[in-house]
Structure 1
Amino acid sequence: MKAAWQRRRRAGRPSARADNPRPMTSLRQHWARVPEGSAVLFMVQVFATLGFAVLQSTLVLYATRRLGFSSEQAALMMGLFGAFNYGLHLFGGYLGGRYLSNRNLFVGGMLLQVLGCGAIAGGGLTGLYWGLALFLTGSGLNVTCLNMMLTQRFEPEDDRREAAFLWNYAGMNVGFFIGFTVAGHYQLDELYSTIFWFATLGNAGAIVLALIFWRTLADRDTPLSHRHGAGFWGRFAIGVAVLTGLVPLLAWLLQRPSDTAVGMKGLCAAVGVALLVMTQRHPVLAEKRRMQAYLVLMLGSLVFWSLYQMAPNGLQMYAVGNVWLNVWGVPVAPQWVQNINTVVIVLAGPWLAAVFARWRVRGWPVDIPLQFSASLVLMGLGFLALPLGIQFADASGHADFSWLFISYVLQSVGELLISPIGYAMIGRLAPRQHQGVMMGSWMLVTGLASLFAGDFSAVVAQPVDGSPLTTNAAYATLFTQLAVGSLITGTVMLGLRPWLRRLIDGARD
C-alpha cells in the first residue's frame, strides 16, 4: 500500500487523501477567521458559569428550607445577590485593564468564588454571609473581564462581533445547564452541601483553563498594558487591595439587607446621572450620538431584566407552590425549570446569529432597536402566559406545567434578542476610552433590575398552609401588571426606532 501511494505521488497523480481538499481548506479558512482566544473564552465561560448557576438557582430554596428565612427575607437576599453581582461589574469594568489586567482580575475573582462556595458548603448563617461576600466580590468584578477580553479581539466595525458574543452566550448557558441539572438532582434530596461543593469544583476548573491558556488571553491595548515597572506594580497592588478589602464590606452589608437595598438603588441613580453628564460633555459628536442611543436602550433593558430576574426569585417560589412540577409522571426539581431557558439559548443562539447574518445580506433591516423592542414584547407575552395558566388551574389551584414552559420559552427568546446583542453593541456604541465603564454600567442595570425583581417577588407572601388557592389571585394580578408594562415599553421602543437608527447609523456617516 505504501509503495503504491509513493508511485502515484512520483507519477504526479494526487493521492486519494488529496483528491478532495475543499473540506479541509474550508475548515482552515473558517478557523483562520476566528480571532485568537475566542474559542478558549467559550470554554472558560462554561466553567466560570457553574458556580453562579448553582447559587442563583438554589439560594432561595436553601435560605427558606434550611436556614428558616421567610419568603420576603429570601426575596430581599436574592435581590441583593443580583444587585451586588451585577452592580460590581461597573467597578470591574474600571479595574480591569487599569489596575489589574482583565486576565489577572478574572483569575483573582474566580479564586474568591472558589473560597465563597466552599464557605457556603460548610453550612450555617455565618458561612452564608461570608461565602456570599467572597463569591459576589469575585463574580461581580470578573465577569466584565470576560466580555472585555472577547471584545478586544475585534475591530469596532467587525461584523463577526455579534456572532462571537452569541456563541459565547451559548457557552455561558451550557454552564447554566450543567449547573442547574446537577443542583436539581441533589435538590430532590436537599443535599445542599453537595450542591455547593460541586459549584466549588466548577469554578476551580475555570482557573485551570485560564492558566493553561494564559498567553492566549493576554489583554490588548489597555491603559495598563502601556505601563511598566513601578507604575505597573503599584497599580497591581491597588487592584489586589480592592479585591481583598471588598469582602468584609459586602459581608457587613449583606447582614443589613433593607438599608443596603435602598443604598444600592441610590448608587444606581447616581451612576445614571454620571453617565448622562459624561454623554452630554463628550466632545466628538458622532460618538456622542451613539452614547445617547445607548442610554435609551439601557432604560428599555431595565424593564426587561426586572422581569427576567424574577426567575430565581418570585417565579421559582410560584413554581414550587402553585404549579404541578411533574411531567409525564417524572418529578421536576425547581432548578430544572430554569433549564428551559438554557436549552432554548444554546440551540437558538447560534441559529439566530446565522439568521441575522442572512437577513442582513438580503438587505432586511434587522437592527438593535428592533431586536430590543421584540425582546420586550416577548417578555410581556411570556408573563401573560402565567395568569392564563392560573385561570385554567385544577381544583387544588395548581397550574399545569405547560404554561410555565411556554412562559420560559418566550422569555428565553427575548433574552437572546437583548442580552448578547447588548454586550456586542458596547463595542459599537461606546468610545474606546469608555468601553469598560459603559460595559460595567450595562451590567449594573441588571443589578438594579434584580432589586426591583426582589420587590416584585415579595409582593406575594407564601401562605402558612401552602395552598396555591391562597395566592393565585395575587400572582395573577402581579403577572398581568408586569406583562402590560413590558408590552407598553416594547411598543414605545418600536416607535423610537427611526430616531435611534439615526443616532446609531447616522453617526457613522
Structure 2
Amino acid sequence: MASSLTKGPAPRDNPLAGGKTFFGHPRGLATLFMTETWERFSYYGMRALLVLYLTASVSDGGLGIKAATAAAIYSVYTATVYLLAMPGGWVADRLFGPRRTVAIGGTIIMIGHFLLAVPVKTSFFLGLVFIAIGSGLLKSNISTMVGHLYPDRTDPRRDAGFTLFYIGINLGAFFAPLVIGTVGQKVNWHLGFALAGVGMALGLGQFLIGTRHLSDRSSIVPTPLAAAERLALVRKALIWLALAVAFYGVVTFTGSFTINWVLWPLSLIGLALPVYYFARIRRDKELTADEKSKMTGFIWFFIAAAVFWLIYDQSGSTLTVFASDHTSSTLFGFNFPESWFQSLNPLFIMALAPVFALLWVKLGRRNPSTAAKFSYGLVSIGVSFGVMMLAQAAASDGTKVSPMWLTMVYLIQTVGELCLSPVGLSVSTRLAPVKYSGQVMGLWFLAVTAGDCVAAIIQLVIGNAFLSETAFAVQGALAALAGIAFLAYRRKVVGLMGDVH
C-alpha cells in the first residue's frame, strides 16, 4: 500500500514534530493500519460465510440450521467477540500491556480460523470460541494503541487518524467476501475458512515486524496485577469454570441441551455486563470528579451506539438471509455469490471515509459536536431499515428484488457509520480515565455486544418474523427517534464531557 513516508528525525511519540509520517500521521499508524486490515480480512471473510454455511443443507456441505436460529447464532457470536473486548482491555491494563496482548490475541485468532477449516462440527464451534477470545484481546487494544500515537488529546488530527485507521479495517473487509466468500461458496466452505487463517497469519507477522514504530506507552502495563491478586483471579476463574462444566454436563446428560441453552445465557450476560462495568468504574473512589462526569457522559454515547449496532450488525444475519432468499444475485448479466453483498459497506467506507476525514478538519470550529455526529448516525441507520421495509414489501409475493435495494441500504448505513463509529473510537480514548484506558475502550465495544444481544433476543423470540416488514419498520423508527432525542439533549451530554468536545 502506498504511503506518504518522508524522512527526518522526530520523537516517536510526537506526531506534530515532523519526521516520518503516514499521510501526515505518526508512522506507527501504518503498522496498526495493516495489522487491522489483515485481521479484518480474516474476520469478515469468515463472517460472510457464517450464516450461509449454517443454513446450507447438509448435502451441500453446510449444517442445515433454520434461518432464524442461524441469525441468532450469528448475533450472539458477534456479541461475544465484542463482549470479550472488555476483559481483553483488562488483560492489557493489568497483565501484559496493549502490545503483547495484541500479539497473543492475533495468534489465538489464527488458530481459531484453522480450526474452522477442519470439516468436523465440534472443531468448527471450537474455532468460533478461539476467534472470539482472540478478537477480544486484540480489538480494544489495537484501537488504544492508535490513541497512544496522539499524546495530545486535543490534537485536531486525532479524529482524522482514527478515520484513516477505519479505512484499514474496511480495506480488509472489502476484499474478504470477494476472496474468501467466493472460495467458500464456489469451491469448499472449509477452504474458505482456511484462507481466513492465512490472512490473520499475515497480519500477525506484519504487526511483529512493525512494533518498533509504535508508541513506547503501548508496552507499559498501566496498573500491574500483584501476585496475590493473580492467585485470587486464577482461583475464581477455576471455580466459575467448574460451575459451568457441571451445569452444562447435567443439561447434556439429561438430554435437555439445545443451542438455546447457549444463546439465551450469553445474550443476557451481554446486557448485564455493561451495567456492571459502568457501576464498578463510577464507584471507584480514586477517580476525580471530572473523570466521573466524563464517564457519565460516556454512558449516553454507549446507549446511542448500542441502538446503532442493533440494526447495523444485522448485515451479516438478517440482510444476508434476505440476500440469499429474496434478492437477485445477477446484475447487468453478471452473476455473483450472495457473500459479495458484504463488500458493499467497506467499499462505501473507503470511498467516503477520506471525504468525512477532510470534512471534520475543514470545518474547524464549526465541526459538529460528537453528540451531534452520533445523532446523525442514529437517524441514518433508522432510515436504512425504512428502506428494508420497502424492499421486504417488494419481495412479499416471492419475487427476487433487485440488488440495488441492498446497495441503497448499505450506502445509507455507511453514512451513519462514518458519523458514529470512528468518532466513537476517538471519544472513548478521550473520555477514559487513565486508570481504565484499555477497559473503557473495551466498554465501547460492549455497545456492539449489547446491540447484538438485543438483536439475538428479537430473532429468538419472533423466529422467521425477523424478516417481516413490521420488524424492519419498528426497529428503524425507534433508531431514528433515538437520534432525534439525542440531538435535542446534546447540550446536557456535552456539559458532562468537560474539556472533551
Q: TM-score, normalised by structure 2?
A: 0.85
Pairing 1:31–2:21 present = yes
Q: Taking structure 1 as reference, are residues 394 and 476 closer, same or farther at Cα in structure 2, changes over 3 Å only?
A: closer
Consecutive unaligned residues of structure 2, counting only runs of 5 or more, are 1-5, 9-16, 57-61
Pairing 1:414–2:416 present = yes
**Residue 43 of structure 1: which of 23, 30, 34 is its match?**
34
Q: Taking structure 1 as reference, are residues 337 and 457 closer, same or farther at Cα in structure 2, changes over 3 Å only?
A: farther
Q: Which residue of 2 aligns with 1:127?
A: 123
Q: CA deviation at 1:366?
A: 0.9
**Residue 198 of structure 1: which of 195, 203, 215 is its match?**
195
Q: Which residue of 1 aligns with 2:66?
A: 70
Q: Taking structure 1 as reference, are residues 281 and 121 closer, same or farther at Cα in structure 2, changes over 3 Å only?
A: closer
Pairing 1:209–2:200 present = no
Q: Which residue of 1 aligns with 2:11?
A: none
Q: Taking structure 1 as reference, are residues 216 and 29 closer, same or farther at Cα in structure 2, changes over 3 Å only?
A: closer
Task: Give the whole-Å Cα distance in 2 for the aligned partners of 1:79 and 1:393.
Answer: 24
- Aligned pairs (5 A) from 1:60-139: 60-65=51-56, 66-139=62-135
Q: CA deviation at 1:400?
A: 2.1
Pairing 1:290–2:281 present = no
Task: Give the whole-Å Cα distance in 2 for the aligned partners of 1:118 and 1:508.
Answer: 43
Deviates more, 1:397-406 or 1:80-89: 397-406
Equivalent residues of 1:286, 1:507 under 8 A apart: no
Q: Which residue of 2 aligns with 1:483?
A: 476
Task: Give the whole-Å Cα distance in 2 for the aligned partners of 1:77 and 1:24.
Answer: 49
Task: Give the whole-Å Cα distance in 2 for the aligned partners of 1:265 and 1:74.
Answer: 15
Q: CA deviation at 1:377?
A: 0.5
Q: Which residue of 2 aligns with 1:186?
A: 183
Alignment identity in percent?
A: 24
Q: Which residue of 2 aligns with 1:335?
A: 339
Task: Give the whole-Å Cα distance in 2 for the aligned partners of 1:353 and 1:28.
Answer: 20
Equivalent residues of 2:88, 2:138 under 8 A apart: yes
Pairing 1:428–2:430 present = yes
Q: CA deviation at 1:288?
A: 2.1
Q: Which residue of 2 aligns with 1:375?
A: 377
Task: Give the whole-Å Cα distance in 2 for the aligned partners of 1:370 and 1:508.
Answer: 14
Q: Which residue of 2 aligns with 1:322?
A: 326
Q: Taking structure 1 as reference, are residues 216 and 488 closer, same or farther at Cα in structure 2, changes over 3 Å only?
A: same
Task: Give the whole-Å Cα distance in 2 for the aligned partners of 1:219 and 1:178.
Answer: 32
Task: Give the whole-Å Cα distance in 2 for the aligned partners of 1:106 and 1:395.
Answer: 49
Equivalent residues of 1:54, 1:199 under 8 A apart: yes
Q: What's the secondary structure of 1:123's corresponding residue?
A: coil
Q: CA deviation at 1:280?
A: 5.6
- Aligned pairs (5 A) from 1:454-493: 454-458=456-460, 461=463, 475-493=468-486
- Aligned pairs (5 A) from 1:345-356: 345-356=349-360
Deviates more, 1:160-169 or 1:63-72: 63-72
Q: Which residue of 2 aligns with 1:15?
A: none
**Residue 389 of structure 1: which of 380, 391, 409 is its match?**
391
Q: CA deviation at 1:85?
A: 0.4
Q: How many residues align?
A: 469
Q: CA deviation at 1:102?
A: 1.6
- Aligned pairs (5 A) from 1:180-259: 180-189=177-186, 191-217=188-214, 219-220=216-217, 224=221, 257-259=259-261
Q: What's the secondary structure of 1:101's corresponding residue?
A: helix
Task: Give the whole-Å Cα distance in 2 for the aligned partners of 1:389 and 1:309.
Answer: 18
Q: CA deviation at 1:225?
A: 6.7
Q: Which residue of 1 aligns with 2:362?
A: 358
Task: Give the whole-Å Cα distance in 1 for the aligned partners of 2:441 and 2:452.
Answer: 17
Q: Which residue of 2 aligns with 1:275?
A: 278
**Residue-by-residue CA offset, 1:328-382 (whole Å, 9 max, x unaligned):** 121232221121100111121122011011112xx31411111000001000111
Q: Taking structure 1 as reference, are residues 456 and 310 closer, same or farther at Cα in structure 2, changes over 3 Å only?
A: farther
Q: Taking structure 1 as reference, are residues 396 and 386 closer, same or farther at Cα in structure 2, changes over 3 Å only?
A: same
Q: What's the secondary structure of 1:213's corresponding residue?
A: helix
Q: Taking structure 1 as reference, are residues 131 and 309 closer, same or farther at Cα in structure 2, changes over 3 Å only?
A: same
**Residue-by-residue CA offset, 1:97-148 (whole Å, 9 max, x unaligned):** 4211222221221111121111111112111121112221111221112111
Deviates more, 1:269-278 or 1:163-172: 269-278
Q: CA deviation at 1:460?
A: 6.4
Question: Could you tell me which amino acid in structure 1 is paired with residue 39 of structure 2?
Answer: A
Equivalent residues of 1:313, 1:454 under 8 A apart: no
Deviates more, 1:161-170 or 1:256-265: 256-265
Q: CA deviation at 1:78?
A: 0.9
Question: Could you tell me which amino acid in structure 2 is paired with residue 501 of structure 1?
Answer: V
Q: Which residue of 2 aligns with 1:3?
A: none
Q: CA deviation at 1:271?
A: 3.2
Q: CA deviation at 1:235?
A: 7.2
Q: What's the secondary structure of 2:401's corresponding residue?
A: coil
Q: TM-score, normalised by structure 1?
A: 0.83
Q: Taking structure 1 as reference, are residues 439 and 508 closer, same or farther at Cα in structure 2, changes over 3 Å only?
A: closer
Q: What's the secondary structure of 2:486's corresponding residue?
A: helix
Task: Give the whole-Å Cα distance in 2 for the aligned partners of 1:327 and 1:457.
Answer: 30
Q: Which residue of 2 aligns with 1:501?
A: 494
Equivalent residues of 1:101, 1:219 under 8 A apart: no
Question: Could you tell me which amino acid in structure 2 is paired with residue 44 of structure 1?
Answer: T
Q: What's the secondary structure of 1:99's corresponding residue?
A: helix
Q: Taking structure 1 as reference, are residues 359 and 218 closer, same or farther at Cα in structure 2, changes over 3 Å only?
A: closer
Q: Taking structure 1 as reference, are residues 235 and 37 closer, same or farther at Cα in structure 2, changes over 3 Å only?
A: farther
**Residue 303 of structure 1: which of 288, 300, 307 is its match?**
307
Question: Could you tell me which amino acid in structure 2 is paired with residue 151 of structure 1?
Answer: G
Task: Give the whole-Å Cα distance in 1 for the aligned partners of 2:108 and 2:408.
Answer: 37
Q: Taking structure 1 as reference, are residues 225 and 288 closer, same or farther at Cα in structure 2, changes over 3 Å only?
A: closer
Q: What's the secondary structure of 2:94's corresponding residue?
A: coil
Q: CA deviation at 1:174?
A: 0.4
Q: CA deviation at 1:323?
A: 1.5
Q: Taking structure 1 as reference, are residues 165 and 257 closer, same or farther at Cα in structure 2, changes over 3 Å only?
A: farther
Equivalent residues of 1:49, 1:175 under 8 A apart: yes
Task: Give the whole-Å Cα distance in 1 for the aligned partners of 2:137 and 2:124.
Answer: 20
**Residue 446 of structure 1: which of 432, 445, 448 is its match?**
448
Question: Could you tell me which amino acid in structure 2 is paired with residue 35 of structure 1?
Answer: P
Equivalent residues of 2:98, 2:220 under 8 A apart: no
Q: CA deviation at 1:458?
A: 4.8
Pairing 1:169–2:169 present = no
Question: Could you tell me which amino acid in structure 1 is paired with residue 344 of structure 2?
Answer: I
Q: What's the secondary structure of 1:122's corresponding residue?
A: coil
Q: CA deviation at 1:28?
A: 6.7
Task: Give the whole-Å Cα distance in 2 for the aligned partners of 1:83 and 1:57.
Answer: 16
Question: Could you tell me which amino acid in structure 2 is paired with residue 290 of structure 1?
Answer: K
Equivalent residues of 1:183, 1:195 under 8 A apart: yes
Based on CA coordinates, which of the two structures has the bigger radius of gyration?
1
